């Protein structure tokens, strides 16, 4: 059966807890980014940090009705998150109420509320759809201890050396990132170290956390190979940490991680590594990191119906115990119901990752030979391939992601491509996304922004493909049609 492109607003999977919403044409992407009713009236779910799930909205509205609250509603995982993020955003909370196992915060509409919404997005602090569904049904909070043990047991071989109880499972990968950054700041600031180095183009929310830091310098080194620039910045003596993705997304380039580790040791900086792009089953990065943060929404949650993240502190590195204690206090734990869903999938992560990688490698090979394709990027090809291979686990590949640069009109190819189209990756379903149009819409729609993207070595109109578990020939058939003249 051929792969089909689901309709606008359809979810992948067909579940109330789906993390992918389909945007079949570039015009749909544009309307989505501009918040136009044509698209948004059809959305019931989506990537949960960007699209508030219908169940979450209903829970917030019902709680507000019961409590007599009004204004902008924020159904958040904890009161601590509500107060911290509101203070950060300069938003005055008009009420904060405990509601079952979550918290409803309200604030007046306006710019401050918009800033708060962005910080909630960046830190993954909304309640989950399963949490909202249970509250709406009157279900008592459950015990996720057994599911948490199962998740930790599955992850332990991939984070060897960390005690299972010290693997922190968060509401999302970005919540793990936020906790990791906060832990380093807590340890390093008393030493006069508050600056951060961002090595390479990062996922948008990680970048925004750096950009919005009010009292810390943020250094962006766009080329992951430019360790000379990193060392010049480290030599100033005020750098708290270096953060890079392994590989970064969507360039799929990897720094020389052992050399970066040596530089951090020499200059007293912490090293945070995020292998979300290829997943923990592909690369072994903990030996070089102070902290590893990774999304479990991808690869581990390959059905596409659960959000989660993991944070692991290297136990033998300097300040390890203190970093872990600070991260544990900051991180928002995954809800029991989400742990239950993740526990049924995470055990398949290594096998799913291996299969995705193998099919992606075959598709990348065919795409590279197609006359309509200008460039194909994968983690194990290009100028940093050897740096990536040094981190590979035995028998592992390059993950599900392919970044595609076209010779012709991206809009035409995207609109014709008969696969699911929307954000996320590392799922059992093939997905395509005009990634920078979704993550950096304001930049790709003006010439100055496009020039900035090109200066970072990226094509503003690239397509990011996440290869799924469908037969390779079916996936290729969809691309042949889309790329044909």
Local confidence pLDDT in tens for the 485 residues of the chain: 456 789 999 999 999 999 999 999 999 999 999 999 999 999 999 999 999 999 999 999 999 999 999 999 999 999 999 999 999 999 999 999 999 999 999 999 999 999 999 999 999 999 999 999 999 999 988 899 999 999 999 999 999 999 999 999 999 999 999 999 999 999 999 999 999 999 998 988 999 999 988 788 999 999 999 999 999 999 999 999 999 999 999 999 999 999 999 999 999 999 999 999 999 999 999 999 999 999 999 999 999 999 999 999 999 999 999 999 999 999 999 999 999 999 999 999 999 999 999 999 999 999 999 999 999 999 999 999 999 999 999 999 999 999 999 999 999 999 999 999 998 999 999 999 999 999 899 999 999 999 999 988 889 999 999 999 999 999 999 999 999 98
Run of H or E including 81: helix 79-89
Give residue for tokens 């590279």.
Answer: 368
- How many residues comprise the chain? 485
Run of H or E including 481: helix 472-483
The CA distance from 46 to 305, in Å, is 10
Other beta carbons within 10 Å of 409: 11
The CA distance from 255 to 294, in Å, is 17
Scanning 369-444, the segments in alpha helix (DSSP H) are 385-389, 410-416, 435-439, 441-444
Walk me through the domains of the chain, giving residue ranges and CATH numbers.
Answer: 54-127 (3.30.70), 145-347 (3.40.640.10), 348-483 (3.90.1150.10)
The CA distance from 124 to 235, in Å, is 34
Instruction: Choose among 309, 286, 285, 284: nearest CA to 299.
Output: 309
pTM attached to this predicted model: 0.96
Q: Specify which residues 198 forms β-bridges with.
A: 220, 243
Q: Are 218 and 196 in contact (CB under 8 A)?
A: yes
- Counting DSSP H helices and E strands in the chain, the numbers are 20, 17
Other beta carbons within 10 Å of 236: 12
The CA distance from 361 to 354, in Å, is 11
Run of H or E including 72: strand 72-76
Q: Are 352 and 469 in contact (CB under 8 A)?
A: yes
* C-alpha triplet 129, 135, 141: angle, nearest 5°: 100
Other beta carbons within 10 Å of 461: 21
Which whole-number Å values give the CA distances from 409 to 413, 418, 432, 483, in the listed order? 7, 17, 15, 10
Label residue 262 left, alpha or beta by phi (over 0 means left) and psi (-120 to 50 means alpha).
alpha
Which whole-number Å values give the CA distances from 243 to 168, 175, 324, 426, in the listed order? 19, 15, 17, 22
The token duo for 441 is: 């819409």
Cis preceding linkage at 448, omega within 30: no
The CA distance from 142 to 229, in Å, is 50
Q: Are 254 and 379 in contact (CB under 8 A)?
A: yes
* C-alpha triplet 315, 246, 469: angle, nearest 5°: 110
Other beta carbons within 10 Å of 57: 15
Backbone angles phi, psi at 431, to 5 degrees: -130, 145
């Amino acid at each position: 059966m051929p792969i089909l492109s689901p309709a606008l607003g359809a979810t992948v999977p067909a579940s109330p807890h789906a993390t992918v919403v389909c945007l079949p044409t570039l015009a749909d992407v544009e309307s989505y980014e501009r918040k136009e009713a044509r698209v948004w009236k059809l959305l019931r779910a989506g990537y949960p940090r960007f699209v508030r799930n219908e169940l979450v909205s209903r829970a917030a509205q019902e709680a507000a009705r019961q409590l007599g609250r009004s204004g902008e509603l924020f159904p958040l995982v904890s009161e601590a998150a509500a107060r911290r993020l509101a203070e950060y955003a300069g938003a005055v909370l008009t009420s904060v109420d405990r509601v079952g196992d979550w918290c409803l915060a309200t604030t007046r509409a306006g710019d401050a509320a918009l800033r708060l919404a962005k910080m909630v997005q960046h830190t993954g602090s909304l309640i989950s759809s399963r949490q909202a569904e249970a509250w709406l049904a009157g279900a008592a909070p459950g015990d996720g201890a057994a599911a948490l043990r199962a998740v930790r047991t599955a992850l332990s071989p991939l984070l060897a050396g960390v005690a299972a109880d010290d693997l922190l499972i968060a509401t999302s990968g970005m919540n793990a990132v936020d906790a990791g950054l906060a832990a380093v700041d807590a340890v390093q600031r008393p030493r006069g170290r508050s600056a951060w180095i961002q090595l390479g183009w990062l996922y948008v929310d990680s970048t925004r956390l750096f950009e919005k830091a009010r009292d810390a310098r943020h250094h962006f080194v766009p080329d992951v190979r430019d360790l000379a620039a990193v060392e010049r910045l480290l030599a100033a003596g005020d750098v708290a940490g270096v953060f890079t993705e392994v590989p970064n997304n969507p360039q799929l380039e990897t720094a020389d991680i052992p050399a970066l580790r040596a530089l951090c040791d020499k200059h007293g900086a912490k090293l945070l590594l995020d292998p979300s792009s290829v997943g923990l089953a592909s690369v072994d990065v903990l030996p070089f990191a102070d902290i590893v943060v990774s999304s479990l929404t991808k690869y581990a949650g390959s059905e596409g119906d659960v959000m989660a993240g993991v944070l692991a502190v290297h136990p033998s590195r300097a300040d390890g115990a203190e970093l872990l204690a600070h991260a544990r206090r900051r991180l928002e734990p995954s809800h029991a119901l989400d742990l239950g869903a993740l526990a049924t999938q995470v055990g398949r992560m290594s096998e799913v990752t291996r299969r995705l990688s193998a099919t992606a490698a075959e598709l990348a090979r065919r795409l590279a030979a197609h006359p309509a394709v200008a460039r194909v990027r994968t983690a194990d090809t290009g100028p940093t391939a050897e740096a990536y291979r040094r981190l590979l686990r035995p028998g592992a590949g390059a993950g599900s992601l392919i970044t595609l640069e076209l010779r012709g009109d991206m809009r035409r190819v995207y609109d014709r491509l008969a696969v699911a189209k929307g954000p996320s990756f590392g799922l059992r379903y093939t997905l395509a996304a005009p990634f920078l149009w979704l993550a950096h819409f304001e930049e790709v729609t003006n010439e100055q922004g496009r020039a900035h993207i090109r200066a970072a070595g990226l094509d503003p109109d690239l397509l990011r493909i996440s290869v799924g578990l469908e037969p390779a020939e079916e996936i290729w058939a969809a691309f042949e049609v889309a790329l044909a003249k």
